[in-house]
Structure 1
């Protein structure tokens, strides 16, 4: 069976995933609650599979995968997230993920996904790996593809109501950099205010 590192900021989810995988014969080497610790633990333990949430503090899951890809991580990444598979499967695939599971699925799917990855297969929802689309408040279609990973990270935090200073502290960047990204997002979504930006994203429940 395989060796696993579980990354999620919710202790109960980490515990549930650990118990499930250990009951299926896998060995959970470590758990991380944020992206920075995840990178350190993966470097230390070199697991076969990383079960990774996207919405984690300090460094989000997309950025963690980008780091793995640039550093040629030899293991596999199985994304486990509450984010929409329609909107994030393709992006995760491009960043090197080998599987994607929604937290709304049955828990046993996680074990199935890990088994598939260890067998050299990919594990994505049927039909989910396509180019996603959302609409602005003016019903202008907007593709996610023009957004960088960092833009999506900041967008998700803005939708959650986080302030510039909070986002800057979370991502270890300056608040001026956050303001620059915010302005760029407003232009890309063809809106003029933060409220319109949030409404545009929530309209399709994409973040």
Structure 2
């Protein structure tokens, strides 16, 4: 029986490219989802072997999807395929329970290798991410946190998601529509981010994003 895979991305061309790679490698794509809410419902219904998930999707962001799937009894593997090419995002995904992380800027052969590894029961992350996980675990009670536990470690997964969307230039209304949040809630997150990061304005937030290799608009 072929491994069964669900693709989750709100860009049809990306879904098509991923599907071509998977079918070429002998996998069965059982569904494509364009929102996080659809993904959760589809995975619960089909229980595929693997979900290939973008972080920046509407109606439940990627972190929320991981949380909901991991809180269920479903044993589906989760491989992140996203444009959020930052070790901070990869590290958070590892902590949240994802099995692998690939950037969309990588060659499609990287995705092919990641799928093969994850379906075989292995994790697929940049070595730097796994090294930092080990380093932080050892150092947590002995010395000040490493660079990974710097200012961004103060943020929750949802705050990190909002932060990434803000520095990409999205308005509060656009972020609210993407994450299914009210305009007021997004404003609250923005204030909380500025307080936690000691950033008085969006210019300073953008500087922090650049310092941590989080893409800005």
TM over 0.5: yes
Change in CA separation of 1:109 and 1:152 when aligned onto 2, cut-off 3 Å: same
| Residue of 185, 192, 198 corresponding to 2:200 | 192
Greater helix fraction, Structure 1 or Structure 2? 2
Corresponding position: 1:144 with 2:152: yes
Q: Counterpart of 1:173 in 2: which secondary structure?
A: coil
Uncovered stretches (5+) of structure 2, i.e. residues with no partner: 134-145
Give the count of matched residue pairs. 201
TM normalised by structure 1 equals 0.89
Moved more, 167-176 or 44-53: 167-176
Q: Distance in 2 between matches of 1:2 and 1:95?
A: 23
By how many angstroms is 1:133 displaced?
4.4
Q: Counterpart of 1:74 in 2: which secondary structure?
A: coil
Moved more, 155-164 or 92-101: 155-164
Change in CA separation of 1:90 and 1:203 when aligned onto 2, cut-off 3 Å: closer
RMSD, matched Cα: 1.9
Q: Distance in 1 between matches of 2:46 and 2:62?
A: 18
Q: Distance in 1 between matches of 2:165 and 2:73?
A: 28
Q: Distance in 2 between matches of 1:176 and 1:122?
A: 38
Q: Distance in 2 between matches of 1:108 and 1:142?
A: 33
Uncovered stretches (5+) of structure 1, i.e. residues with no partner: 135-140
By how many angstroms is 1:82 displaced?
1.6
Change in CA separation of 1:96 and 1:40 when aligned onto 2, cut-off 3 Å: same
Q: Distance in 1 between matches of 2:170 and 2:147?
A: 24
Q: Distance in 2 between matches of 1:165 and 1:64?
A: 21
By how many angstroms is 1:70 displaced?
1.6
Residues 124-182 of structure 1: CA deviation (Å, up to 9, x unaligned): 11222336848xxxxxx943222111101211221122222232233222222212111
8 A Cα contact 1:32 1:38, kept in partner: yes
